[in-house]
Structure 1
Amino acid sequence: MEIVPGIGLWHVHGHQDKCYVHYASSFITGAARIDGEIMETLWAPLNIISPSARGMSTPHRQECLDYQMNDSNFMKMIRMSGFLCRKYRKAAKGVAESSAAFEKLNETADAIKVAQWEAQYQEAQQRRNGDPSAMHVLEVQLRKGEPSILPSDARDQREAAPTRKQQELVLLSSSQGRAIGNAQCGTATWIASGITIEEMQIALAMDVRKLGRHPTETQKLDIGRRRTKLQNWIDEFTLVAVSHLGKGFDVDNDIMDMKLDFLDNSDEEGHFGDGTDSERSVSNNVWCNLFRPEHVVIPLPSNISIEWCADLAGDNLVGQEIALREGQANDTLQTIRVLLADKAVLFRTTVCPAKSQAKSTRAWTQVHSVERVIRLNTMIYTKCRTQLGNLQAHGLLEKYLRIEKCHLKATAAVANPGAQGQRNFTLPWFWSLDIQGDSVNNDWMDEWSIGSAQRQSATGGRKNNS
């Protein structure tokens, strides 16, 4: 019989850091999801009689403790069936959650890296009894600045999250290699400029909405200048659209105004919810309704029906915009990730140490500034996802999911593996979107091995073939 040494999860975090990967039950194949403790689990029912036992004599205290433990054992015996049923339902739910999280992590990582991690993990499990230090491969190891072991052509082939600039460069290089007309050579740049105009429209619409019912003359002048500049961009874009969409395109066709879904946040000053009296008063202002280029829909393929766009200029425009929209989604998600990390750092280093908890302090001003940029990028991503739906890019919609308000929360708490329930915590989906690109300079072996160990422990060491 092979005996695998281990330490309970309640005690292992009080040992040295290396003991966690050496002896924690989370990394023991077949150990299931257990805490590994025995006596400590009985302390909770004993706490009930602790106030009474303080004033007892030694024989009386011993009899009271014996009576309490006998009652605890009897209650465990008669409630065992219900407890096992609840534990089975919890384990079945854990199998589904851990398998889904691991598969998402496994799919976005590079196949060569996954094969290396699998080999290292299996070797460490085989050597752990004779050499516990073999489990060191599961520790966090960041090696920034080291060259990648993958060749350059392999890195280009496995690029999982290309940026919009990278997509535009690929489209430009591919168009230059084909024999097409001069009017079609700058199609990718033309579509990219249209996407930039949409982002400017969203930013301007947010600023107009934030002004409130009584903006100052300086604010009105600033909005007016920005609208004039935006209208000039739209005019130039529309004039060039004829050369890309063909002579059948009519610039004067009526297109409905652009609709934006604003993220409601009542805590911020000047940010109103949908349908409130304050918002209606803003939209009813004369200065606000006379000239509104931020609501003009520009003639992009996503704003025109696919059939009409195919009749005018072929399917080439649709494919190019899909590629650029994918890059735009990757850019906005990366910006959101960086801003959420910045927000967490601000809470940890600036807001929490402050003596005052008022939200009008300088520390909270920095947080609100970051939150505004997060909402802007979230709205840009939502608009990008809507346009991908108009382009019928259903495969990308399965990859780029909807961002909910709960996904944008940041916490200043320091990660503690010993905290209750934290081992079941999973980050929102967009944090594991670009693992394939991040694994070039970072070592995701620890995150992957934890996911693999959680899946195996949830299934009791058996592989899930479903």
Structure 2
Amino acid sequence: MSYPALKPIALPNPTSYVDNSTFSPPDSGDSTPSSGRIPKRKRKQKRAFPMKKWLLHRETFLSELMRLEGRGDRSALTICPSCREEGSSPLYRCTNCTSTDLICRSCIVSAHKYNGLHGIEMWNGTHFDRRTLRDLGFRFQLGHAPGQACRCPQPSPGRVFTVIDTTGVHSVSLDFCNCETAASHYVQILRQGWYPATVKNPSTAATLNVLKLFHLLTYQGKISPYEFYTALTRLTSNTGLMEPKSRYREFLRMSRQFRHLKMVKRVGKGNADGPLVLEAGSCAVTCPACPQPGVNLPDGWEKVSLQKRFLYQLFLAIDANFRLKRKLVSNDDADPSLNDGCAYFVKRILFMAFLSGYDKKVDQNASTCSNHSAVNNDRSTRGLAASGVGAVDCARHEMKRPMSVGDLQKGERYVNMDYLFFSSIRNTLLLLALVVSYDIACQWSINLFTRLGMYPAWMKASKLPEKKTTFLVPKFHLPAHIQSCWSRYSYNYASGVGTTDGEAIERLWAGLNHYASSTKEMGPGSRQDILDDAFGDWNWRKITSFAHTLLRKVRNAVPESVKHAALHREFTEACPAETITEWEERIQIYERSPSSEPNPYESGKVLLFDTVRKTIAQEETDELAGGSGVSVDEEVSASQLITMGIEIEEQQRRLSNSQRNQPKHASENERANLKLQINSLRRKVDGWVDIQHRYVPSLRILRQRLEDHETGGKLDCPTKSSLHLPSSLLTLKTRHPDIILPTAQSCDIRLYVLEWRLRCAQAQDALVSLRDAIRLRAHLYQDKKRHQRGQAANTRSNGLIERATERIRATAERYQSAQSAIWLLGTHLKRTSFQTQYPILLPTDIRNISEDEDEADEPALAPWKNKAKKGTTVESTRSETRRTVSWIWRHSGVVGDGVSGGGEGEETGSAGGIGSTAPAQLQQDLNEAVRIEWFKSRARSQRWAEEVELLEEEMRRVLATFEHRAAGWDEKAESSHSSDPALTEGRVAYAKGQAAQFRAMGQRCKELWALVPQYVASGGRTPLSEKERLAWEKREREGIAEVEGNDEEDPEHSDESDDDSDDDGDGDAGDSDDDDDDIDGLT
């Protein structure tokens, strides 16, 4: 990646930035006081409260406003100060001009020959009355310069002409030019800077300023046409005494036409002579960071090695939105689309013809995964022309693809989504690889190539079977799938995808869903044009933010890449070299052919939680098929709601631990990383709560009451937000006796049963994971004791053991959470035996199978409390006749996960000291656990390294695209010729302005990204901006040093944060499809 050469920047102690093997901050020399204490930063002075100051002057402000209601200092004037003619009474002032001077009638009219839409007030002796310039004799003359008269003027049809402006709705007197060389009436209006409502005999127009303002407020202020127009009429008359005649329908028509013309103009169609031809997708705003052959890819990109091919692959995300529906009103003849097929929506007539021809030929194969589409397929479409829209987006940059949006008629049918997918990749024929994200990719992709065989030739021209196409499931959606999907369709384990999360399209829907309430009442053409324009505005705003967005992603990705590379290196060095070689060969074979090789990320053990979830999903499918099933939400079933809630609950615990364990002197990157994770969790909680309220409406009131009572407002940290799963509702009265709360009966009994079943499975799986974690920690401790020598090796082992211990703590917390819910639900549902099946887990229960209770008074530290003599083990220091085994090893399922009944002849002190476990089975389980953890560690390290490379390539592509577009506008400027000199000048001016705009945007990116190559090369140890560099130098001068943990010097503060950070820079922190048991260095 190349950037413009800049002047060398003097960095403090530059040698401290190039050492990637440590995580120490820049050396601050001798500036730190000899006492070793770090001087505190100077606190910023508190800002004075401006409102408090204003209160001291409130009466003065009020008095001055009242003064303006009269004539002020001009009450003594007797003649007009402008013309000073005798008898000229200064009675008039303008409400829109900056001056409040009073002048006479003739002067006020002549002063407004350029501003004929301003409002006028006249002093009647006691107060000001509203007047218009039309009342004073002002007339607009079109076709001539302001102030010039026409020899043969032609008055506008009707008594008045209506003009809609930012200052209100005005009734004006207007004359058209009727000279021999005069243009048609609607053209004269356009040259005035107004937009006519009709072509023939126009009597209404809107100023271009008001159309531009409404266009911007539609997307920035989320304001509807009715609200905007009503505000303008209130500006005109807020009492209803002078209410103008309604021109609302005309305003709708003008604003829609204006949007279309702006879209066409911005892609250069106004710079060409001849008939206007709008090619398919030609008016769409395309993503400058995505690979575009001939635009932003380097020479020879198609010959790149297989290892670097991922840099030039296209990331796509597919999804449907069932909120953007449309009622069965109007038709294409009465309401045609102005930009049908030239932007984001596919051409309607071709789309409908395809559906009618292939709808019955394409089978919607039965789902073998969770029941994702059962609700969608059975939702009612009565009274709807479209039940929603399907779309394809850029998965890394959240931008809508050209020709990628189309209506859905009933559910998320493959035939609809196939058409949209192949339409969106029509211009990507030269690309060699695709990554396709879809929440039902595990089902949709199965027969995709088979279906392609029966489709039209233009679809086959995409040559999809010849490309390397990877199908994945978005990270937040993946936990709702069955276990076999978790690794096969995971972004975490797919090579070449970086830290993409695949949820980009969901974030785009969230930003556009507010259009649903208005567009569902529109005709087909109006709705399509509004949404097309909304997609374009979204894309453009993304482009304008690239300079900061990509920089923020690099700031996060580089330190994470360095950290995870170091952790994986530590883990690799702790394993035998021949084992690592074997594992490398296995994972490389799998990556070359993932569909035909066994998945190395999967364990042979089957999680009960996944089995129960799959069973429940099948039950829901059967109920819906039989007509007895009920689903409140369109996209999320009841079992998925509870499953996602349990997953979010686990993420809350993990993030809470990260907050608790963050060191006092954490670096800026660590603080920013944690903040991103918090923001991501907040969005997940808010989205889940919104769905939960549809199943349990009373929770909306409950949350408001609790928040007002406990905090006086909304809780700021999502880790403390109560999810109010069904089990927690059973203790509300006990926890909040002084608040009137809904009863437990306000929640459907089926939700209690669903959570009961899932919690029981969660508890069983947690016990299996707890036993595995205890074994692993014991193995690591024994390995350290027997094989590790030297400070570096022991430090590395201590780090692995501490992270294994943290895994034990996290797994124990998961079981305790499940067990508490089981006891509450069991009592409410009148179940039996649950207290003996799921006993309370005490700290003394968390110990190895051969450890006694008194040896685990602090279970997390038990391996370090070995007081035995040298050469003995913990197990041999206590009488076997007195030793007790923790109930976790006597619980059902222990034998199945590698523990057999012990006998006198069995070996003691074997790997991990698990005396009553069959050695061969134990070693097999242990090897499998370590192998899977090593594969996950490798995957994480590679994903972050790929992310850094992808970001660098995307930055290069953005710069290349901006320059390519600027050059394109330069060419348009050179070829913009017309017989009309004024038109030629306008075309050239617009093209030159667009070229200058893109070059300025490119220059802005170059300036902000100038230090990125140095930052990447140093592993994040150099400043990323001039502001940071100055701040670092200031700290050097003031003797302030940032303190970070170092593995060699302070093992206690190493690797404080184990969670993944933001995957795409937009706050989607954490990998929702990671195993809960993962720990850094082992995952």
Larger proportion of helix? 1
**Shorter-chain TM-score category?**
0.3 to 0.5
TM-score (norm 2): 0.22
Of structures 1 and 2, the one with the larger relative CO (CA 8 A, separation 6+) is 1
Tell me the TM-score normalized by structure 1: 0.48
The structure with the largest strand share of the pair is 2
